[in-house]
């Protein structure tokens, strides 16, 4: 906990870094918006900032380290783990304004994006090129790519294409010392060195702040069909899935729904 004088010095540094007044706030009402995610946890930060460049994030981490204050990186707050809740107070860095798709490279089957790009927006941008990015969590229409990376998001397609960890080639990030680094390689094979990329994915922002991601793309299927199968019990369903996934051609997605899930769906949307 900073004393009043130290806190004022911190706020002065933040104001100098975020010249655009819309990119920095200590207003309690605005800070409250960034005090919770889709879990039941809640904690009010001392300030909220909205970086727009990698360089700003490097400077921000250095300031927080110098003042010994917590920094919480935040995407769109759709996770249910409480990972984006500033439980130690301090500064929340919301990446909702770093939304550029920096490159789409169909020849090398990759895209380079900033952390705040929405999963759905990326899929829309990739579709004319005949590709998609495999992770499809429930919150895909409004969750961010860096949020997917932070929690190693999956979704029904994970059964065939893997989770986020299997679909990220490289990252640009800043560690807790304020040192910027790159890890991974923009190629299908990168056999040398430690695999820091996979280590960072799923670390929920505890190891580094990610400012850029190079993503592995998958070609879109020429056609799709949906099949519903009903089984007598869970054992029969899981046995069928094992046999299905052992075939040369496998489904692009699988989702299991038990009686209770079906009841809730019908109550919400009616029979269909």
Is residue 121 a contact partner of residue 75, using CB atoms and an 8 Å limit? no
Is 228 a member of any domain?
A: no
Is residue 115 a contact partner of residue 54, using CB atoms and an 8 Å limit? no
Q: Give per-residue pLDDT as tens, 84-103.
A: 999 999 999 999 999 999 99
**CATH no. for residue 43?**
3.30.43.10
Instruction: State yes or no: pLDDT of 272 exceeds 70.
Output: no
Instruction: State yes or no: pLDDT of 18 exceeds 70.
Output: yes
Is 227 a member of any domain?
A: no
What percentage of the chain reaches a pLDDT higher than 70? 99
Between 167-171, 188-192, 265-269, the lowest mean confidence (pLDDT) is in 188-192
What is the residue whose two structure tokens read 């005090």? 35
Is 164 a member of any domain?
A: yes
Same domain, 120 and 154: yes
Q: How many domains does the chain have?
A: 3
- Of 188, 172, 158, which Cα lies nearest the Cα of 253? 158
131-132 vs 47-49, strand pairing mode:
unpaired
Is residue 23 a contact partner of residue 50, using CB atoms and an 8 Å limit? yes
């Amino acid at each position: 906990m900073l004393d009043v004088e130290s806190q004022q010095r911190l706020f002065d540094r933040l104001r100098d870094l975020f010249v655009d007044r819309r990119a920095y706030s200590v207003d309690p009402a605005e800070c409250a918006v960034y005090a919770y995610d889709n879990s039941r946890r809640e904690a009010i930060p001392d300030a909220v900032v909205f970086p727009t460049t990698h360089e700003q994030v490097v400077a921000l981490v250095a300031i927080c380290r110098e003042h010994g204050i917590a920094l919480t990186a935040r995407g769109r707050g759709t996770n249910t783990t409480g990972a984006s809740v500033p439980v130690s107070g301090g500064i929340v860095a919301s990446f909702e304004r770093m939304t550029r798709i920096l490159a789409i490279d169909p020849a090398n089957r990759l895209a380079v994006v900033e952390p705040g790009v929405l999963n759905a927006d990326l899929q829309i941008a990739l579709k004319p090129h005949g590709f998609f990015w495999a992770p499809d969590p429930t919150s895909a229409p409004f969750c961010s790519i860096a949020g997917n990376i932070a929690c190693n998001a999956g979704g029904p397609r994970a059964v065939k294409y893997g989770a986020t960890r299997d679909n990220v080639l490289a990252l640009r990030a800043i560690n807790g010392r304020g040192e910027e680094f790159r890890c991974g390689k923009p190629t299908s094979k990168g056999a040398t060195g430690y695999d820091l990329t996979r280590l960072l994915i799923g670390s929920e922002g505890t190891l580094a702040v990610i400012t850029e991601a190079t993503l592995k793309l998958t070609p879109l299927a020429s056609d799709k069909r949906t099949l519903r199968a009903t089984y007598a019990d869970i054992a029969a369903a899981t046995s069928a899935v094992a046999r299905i996934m052992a075939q040369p051609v496998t489904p692009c997605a699988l989702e299991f729904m038990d009686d209770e899930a079906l009841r809730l769906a019908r109550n919400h949307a009616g029979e269909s």
